[in-house]
Amino acid sequence: MRTTNTEQKESFSTQVKTELSLLRIKRFEDARSLLCAFTLCIGTLRFVPQGRSWGVHYSLKSRQAIDLCAKLCRQYYELDCTLSEVKHERLNANNCELLVFGEKIDEFMRSVGLITVSEEGEKSFSPCVPCDVAVTDTQMRMFVRGLFLSCGMISDPEKAFHLEFVISKPELAQAAFDILSLHGIEPRESKRKNNTVLYVKEGEKLEDLLAFIGASEAMMRVSNERIIKQASNTANRYVNCMNANTNRATAAAQKQAEDIELVLKTCGAEALGDELLIVAKARMDNFELSLSELADELDMGRSAVNYRLKRLSKMADDIRGAEKRAT
């Protein structure tokens, strides 16, 4: 999406959440799974004066995710929704807030695990993940999607491969870990203050996770960046290898030139013979050439040129040895 100078460019996380929020959810069970993760992650109880009852309050930066939550609450639980926007002066950012309430609010809170009801019928605010909320493969996908919409973050793949969930409830983090591991996307785990952080840093796992929650456009973006980085790494390795080979060839040529110079200075050109003299002069005149290139220049075999250069080096070593013994 193009932006003007006055518009702030959307982060990749926002783009992914927008993509996920626009996907249709056709069944009650799937909507419940998404709302369960979403609510257990960021939903809080709030008293609603106009209805003299409790409601559930959500606050999130992503307007699209909040809109999706409101839509599902209306469609599948027939709840009333109040949307608002609050500006945080200190953070210089806007948060979208949603309050859901209505006659079926108790049914909703029990359905998503925000409150529990004892055998005696007493309600208590003790959030837990319902045992039947993530049974089918689709329900698991919706559950993880709801988590990403509420507490997920992904880095721009041009900069880094990193996706994380910052989850305050241990039971919720364990459910997410189990679901992802079951689908071959076992995340790493760390602690950040009182939160559990589940994260993925490998490009291939990141693609699998995005595909799992339905973010196909984001998955393709990550895949393209991974291909580009792999190609770049391969090219860099090739250049480094070539540079290393060039450095070795240059060092060898320099050593050969020093040996030849010592032999010519000590013994004279007439002491070399035609075969060695031809190679010696060619090396001194073509210092920058590799052994193969030098052989081509002389129209000789590489092994023959190498053999004669070694003879010259042996002569130089003998001279140095004799000088050392003399001192």
Please report the pLDDT score of residue 213 as a whole number. 96
Q: What is the C-alpha to C-alpha distance for residues 202 and 260, in angstroms, rounded to an integer?
A: 54
Tell me 92's DSSP state: T
Please report the pLDDT score of residue 7 as a whole number. 44
Please report the pLDDT score of residue 90 as a whole number. 63
**Which residues, at least 6 apart from 44, have a Cβ–Cβ distance to it below 8 Å?**
56, 57, 58
Q: Which residues pair with 18 in a beta bridge?
A: none
Please report the pLDDT score of residue 292 as a whole number. 84
In tens digits, the chain (327 residues) has pLDDT values of: 344 443 457 899 999 999 999 999 999 999 999 999 999 999 999 988 876 788 999 999 999 999 999 999 999 999 999 999 887 666 567 889 999 999 999 999 999 998 887 777 777 788 899 999 999 999 999 999 999 999 999 999 989 999 999 999 999 999 999 999 999 999 999 999 899 999 999 989 999 999 999 999 999 999 888 888 777 777 777 777 777 777 777 788 788 888 888 888 888 887 788 888 888 888 888 777 778 888 888 888 888 888 888 888 888 888 888 888 877
Q: Which residues pair with 192 in a beta bridge?
A: 195
Q: What is the C-alpha to C-alpha distance for residues 34 and 14, in angstroms, rounded to an integer?
A: 18
* Residue position matching structure tokens 């320099």: 254
* Fold of domain 12-214: Endonuclease I-creI (3.10.28)
Please report the pLDDT score of residue 4 as a whole number. 42
> Taking Cα atoms as reference points, which of 263, 268, 269 lies closest to residue 322?
263
SS3 content of the chain, % helix, strand, coil (to 5): 60, 15, 25
Q: What is the C-alpha to C-alpha distance for residues 284 and 262, in angstroms, rounded to an integer?
A: 12
Q: Where are the domains of the chain?
A: 12-214, 246-322
The phi and psi torsions of 91 (rounded to 5 degrees) equal -90, -10
* Residue position matching structure tokens 């056709």: 26
Please report the pLDDT score of residue 1 as a whole number. 38
Please report the pLDDT score of residue 6 as a whole number. 37
Task: List own/partner pairs for 13-17 with CB under 8 A and 24 or more apart.
Answer: 13/152, 13/153, 13/154, 14/61, 14/62, 15/218, 16/148, 16/154, 16/210, 16/215, 16/218, 17/62, 17/64, 17/65, 17/148, 17/149, 17/152
